[in-house]
């Protein structure tokens, strides 16, 4: 049963292009950093005012 699952996972991974994975990870990282910096700047601004 696990052997069949392993084969199916390998088939699914072959259909996902490598560039799509790299693009998605970069986008997620940049989005996370933007949210992180927005929280820092907003927190600083609201504490000053």
User: What pLDDT, on a 0 to 100 scale, did the predictor assign at position 40?
Assistant: 93
Q: Is the pLDDT of residue 1 over 70?
A: no
Most trustworthy range by pLDDT among 8-17, 19-28, 40-49: 40-49
Q: Is the pLDDT of residue 38 over 80?
A: yes
**Any domain includes 16:** no
CB atoms within 10 A of CB 31: 10
**Any domain includes 17:** no
Number of domains into which the chain is organized: 1
**Any domain includes 1:** no
**Any domain includes 43:** yes
| Helix/strand/coil percentages in the chain, nearest 5 | 90, 0, 10
Q: Which residue has tokens 């693009």?
A: 23
- Claim: this prediction has a pTM higher than 0.95: no
Which of the four pLDDT bands, split at 50, 70 and 90, describes residue 20? low
Q: Is the pLDDT of residue 30 over 90?
A: yes
Which range marks the domain in which residue 38 is found?
A: 22-49
**Any domain includes 42:** yes
**Any domain includes 34:** yes
């Amino acid at each position: 049963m696990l052997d069949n699952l392993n084969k199916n996972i390998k088939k699914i991974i072959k259909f996902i292009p490598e560039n799509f994975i790299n693009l998605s990870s970069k986008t997620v990282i940049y989005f996370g950093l933007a949210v992180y910096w927005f929280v820092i700047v907003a927190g600083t601004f609201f504490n000053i005012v």
